[in-house]
Structure 1
């Protein structure tokens, strides 16, 4: 028995990686879902470097958490872009310099374990659902540079017919609004996406959205309008998710959650204002159905660890892990 096997107590280890544009966040969990270790490493640019980042981060995680590669029962990867979860191929991950990459085949040839690949936001939705500890339907709303959502019901990711379920960022809510990168006007993302807000703000700074909030509180009218846009867009996304798929809860994550209660309070006020003149909207209690993730929560890596290759999107059960053995 290896030292790694001794420390993991003979339990099958599941590894999950959240591959981002600048860093890869990885966790290892045991069969009960307990996080055994977590590491972060830089992500490389281009297909070869991305595969190398996945392999090296997995090996670093094994060293950090004290298990051997022979203990790894499965590896899940959450990655931005269009993902064919059945084949493990990612397409158009532009922030990583990837046009087409078969992650499951290439990384799996180095680490001898089944690989599952999923869009990062959908993986984060699965991770957020697992943290809630129940089977209630929920949506994960990612407010970052862009805006997207993942939907989980009964412990499974719901993708829709073509995998676009949850793409709330590109629903137009203002036909006369700002032009979106998708070509439409007034998409939700133009209101509450960090990239769109930074462009509209147009002033230098490391954290433009935080600068907008600070300037709004100092009385800057442009900043106040953009801050109101953010709340209005996020409230619209919550409303769309609840009205279209009737999820019980909308969990909000992504980089903008670093704003904490300032962001949450703004969204709650916007939801209440929208419902003020509508008995129907008031009956939905949308302001009570949102939650903000804690800053730094590893939900995408955790959700990736819960993926299995076929059928994709199901949590790995003890029966399934035994079948993979």
Structure 2
């Protein structure tokens, strides 16, 4: 597939797999490429290089206009350095500079959740404008007028916030790390060392702890069992949904975002997840005129199944103006 002369590449490097997508000058998305992610600094760099080479072959380009990468861990978006990406075996890697030296083009790097926030915001903008492309040209005007939070529900919980078309990073780059806000001081010990963090209620790890099973998809089994009337499943599901609703409420009350888009692995639950979250938000609003005035339930959406939010966002990260705070 030839997608034009201006081709932006976005790569999402995950703990087990790497995904990539290219965006052409007309806004069309290429087919995705997926491959296993290597472990350790040298292997992560090699994975990125193999992905870039494969994408260049598929799209018939000699070089990309820009390259952006989303990756877990603490990322210095100014230097392209990645730290504390434990699942990738990285304690410190100058990923951007190392790739730039090999490719002869600047490579911008961003935390994967923040990159996904840009991708989700971009998709939201397309929906608002009634467009079916990913160019971001005419849509940027409508998108910039809205703010949104991308609520990533995976093994853990984190959020990325976009306001005025720009990522909100904060003074130390931890804006959106709401999973480590304690909501129950007497609760379970969190991996961060605190007790009762929001992540201990609303995450894949929380479901694994409260609904032990050998099923390949524990969250799906949980929701199916609850729907079938299993009392314990209903209890665990409601605890999880209250955690998700709490995250939505927290994001709206702290940043007053127009939209909260749920993504991450648990977003595959789709309608039951959104409907359950909205139901609880409406229950809370029924008891609070203040919350009722905020229309919390109406702000919740879920990322479409299969949309490569982090890879699309990484392609946008590769364009300089998206990097500005």
TM-score, normalised with respect to structure 2: 0.90
Distance 1:8 1:249 in 2: 31
Partner residue, 1:26: 20
1:82 aligns with 2:92: no
Gap regions ≥5 residues in structure 2: 126-142
User: In structure 2, which of residues 85, 90, 103 is the aligned counterpart of residue 93 of structure 1?
Assistant: 85
Tell me how far 1:38 sits from its aligned partner. 2.1
Distance 2:26 2:148 in 1: 22
Partner residue, 1:170: 180
The answer to whether the Cα contact below 8 Å between 1:138 and 1:250 also exists between their aligned partners in 2 is yes
The answer to whether the Cα contact below 8 Å between 2:22 and 2:29 also exists between their aligned partners in 1 is yes
User: In structure 1, which of residues 233, 239, 242 is the aligned counterpart of residue 243 of structure 2?
Assistant: 233
Partner residue, 1:303: 313
1:131 aligns with 2:123: yes
Distance 1:75 1:303 in 2: 11
The answer to whether the Cα contact below 8 Å between 1:307 and 1:314 also exists between their aligned partners in 2 is no
Tell me how far 1:309 sits from its aligned partner. 7.2
Distance 1:34 1:130 in 2: 13
Distance 1:36 1:143 in 2: 26
Tell me how far 1:293 sits from its aligned partner. 0.7
Tell me how far 1:312 sits from its aligned partner. 5.9
Tell me how far 1:30 sits from its aligned partner. 2.1
1:217 aligns with 2:230: no
Structure whose residues are more often strand by fraction: 1
TM-score, normalised with respect to structure 1: 0.90
The count of aligned residue pairs is 307
1:254-282: per-residue Cα shift (whole Å, max 9, x none)? 11111111111110111111111100000
Tell me how far 1:153 sits from its aligned partner. 1.1
1:200-251: per-residue Cα shift (whole Å, max 9, x none)? 2222221111121122223333322211111101101111111001111111
Q: Which stretches of structure 1, 4 residues or more, deviate above 3 A after TM superposition? A: 308-312
1:283-322: per-residue Cα shift (whole Å, max 9, x none)? 000000111111111110011101147566259xxxxxxx
Distance 2:213 2:168 in 1: 39
The answer to whether the Cα contact below 8 Å between 1:115 and 1:309 also exists between their aligned partners in 2 is no
Distance 1:226 1:181 in 2: 20
1:108 aligns with 2:100: yes
Q: Pairwise CA RMSD of aligned residues? A: 1.7
User: In structure 1, which of residues 151, 164, 184 is the aligned counterpart of residue 194 of structure 2?
Assistant: 184
The answer to whether the Cα contact below 8 Å between 1:18 and 1:301 also exists between their aligned partners in 2 is yes
SS, match of residue 102 in structure 2:
coil
1:261-280 equivalence runs, <5 A = 261-280=271-290
Distance 1:107 1:53 in 2: 11
1:121-146: per-residue Cα shift (whole Å, max 9, x none)? 00000111111222111110011111
